[in-house]
Structure 1
Amino acid sequence: MSKNTTWTLDNTHSEIAFKVKHMMISTVTGHFEDFEATAKTDGDDFKGADFNFSAKTASINTKNKDRDTHLRSDDFFNSEKFPEMTFVSKSFDGEKLTGDLTIRDITKEVTLDAELNGVAVDPYGQTKAGFEMTGTINRKDFNLTWSAVTEAGSIVVSDKVKMVVDLQFTKEA
């Protein structure tokens, strides 16, 4: 059954970010600057909604030019060959969002904790919906396998990557 209401992303109030441990003592945060998302619902009820989002892997930003260049390389995203990462939902029960995440040429099912923060009408009469989605993936599941160990034996980059996705949608008229 197709959904009858389309919600488009409000990019200025949205972010797709990630956090990963560096040398197991600190956390590096990054985000994708170029991304899009849509939701399809039955009216204003998001239970059972269809979500899709994609991000341009070359738009990665960790506030460090050398690190960003490394992340775009074949050691990680290979942005030239695999310019987009995508997520296509399979189910949303109001708390858990399950779908297929594709990074590089590998697709895996992932489940994110997804909280609808609310639906409200803005001062311009537009209906908005805000979500916070979080989850952890293993980067090596997606062939992001680069690894190094310090002289002291610490892993430089953790295998676990925490995803933090904040999305605000605008209901299409």
Structure 2
Amino acid sequence: MKYVIGIMIFAFVILAGCQVETTQTDIEVCDDGIVCEDDTEELVLPENANFVLDASRSDMVWKGSKIIGNSHTGEILIKSGNLVKDGEIYTGNFVIDMTSMTEVAKETAVVKHLKNEDFFNVEMYPEAKLMIKDITNSYVTADLTILDKTNEINFPTSFLYDGDKLYAMSSFEIDRTLWGIEYNSGSVFKDLGDKAIKDEIEFGLELVFDEN
């Protein structure tokens, strides 16, 4: 992607239709693009640790697809984020800049549509938020707020802590209809044919934190 992290090189090609590849790590990614359950290990950090996201070295990618037909992939900027360990409790807050959404193929009409009222309505809701509530066996439990609606999500994440920095890699998907995004949903509207869009939106995260 955009950078090389010490002993880790993350190649985020899953959301372009391929399997995620990792090198120089023991992280295995299954065929569905999710970090394999058997490869997740307990995240061990100092008793009281505070990590601040390095937004300039972190990436968030997305993929949306029609049920029959093409798909689109792009990036979204994470404005800020942190991860805190207080005793055995992990918490964190991330702010996602929805106005920054781009599309890899630079299809401006697609991005314009995603930003309007049919999808993310970024003029009224310019930010999404992810609030970490727990990390157990490297499974993250968090509240995701989009369009001022909040739902709990759970996803496996691979971590590496080198005593100074924390690296995290994950991929997950959400059902957009749970946040009220129903435009051309094949599960909501019948007989859409090749206009039907999948409810699932895929996301990939590649994050770098500095210990504070």
Give TM class, smaller chain. Answer: 0.7 to 0.9
Tell whether the 8 Å contact from 1:82 to 1:105 is kept in structure 2 after alignment: yes
Can you list the C-alpha shifts for 1:42-99, whole angstroms capped at 9, x where unaligned?
59xxx74212211111111113211111111111111111111001111101321011
Write the distance in 2 (CA, Å) between the matches of 1:97 and 1:26. Answer: 31
SS in 1 for 2:122: coil
Structure with more strand by fraction: 1
Q: Which residue of 1 is the match for residue 206 of structure 2?
A: 166
Write the distance in 1 (CA, Å) between the matches of 2:51 and 2:136. Answer: 18
Match of 1:95 among 123, 138, 145: 138
Name stretches of at least 5 consecutive residues in structure 1 with no aligned partner: 122-126
Q: Which residue of 1 is the match for residue 162 of structure 2?
A: 120
Write the distance in 1 (CA, Å) between the matches of 2:80 and 2:184. Answer: 30
Can you list the C-alpha shifts for 1:5-59, whole angstroms capped at 9, x where unaligned?
221111232111111223534432121135221111259xxx7421221111111
| Corresponding position: 1:60 with 2:97 | no
* Aligned positions of 1:1-173 closer than 5 A: 4-42=48-86, 48-62=89-103, 63-116=106-159, 118-120=160-162, 127-147=164-184, 153-172=193-212
CA change 1:94–1:76 in 2 (3 A) is same
SS in 2 for 1:154: helix
Give the aligned CA root-mean-square deviation in angstroms.
2.3
- Number of aligned residues: 160
CA change 1:5–1:24 in 2 (3 A) is same
| TM-score scaled by length of structure 2 | 0.68
1:107 CA drift (Å): 0.5
SS in 2 for 1:70: helix
What percentage of residue pairs aligned between the two structures are identical? Answer: 24
| TM-score scaled by length of structure 1 | 0.82
Tell whether the 8 Å contact from 2:139 to 2:155 is kept in structure 1 after alignment: yes
Tell whether the 8 Å contact from 1:20 to 1:27 is kept in structure 2 after alignment: yes
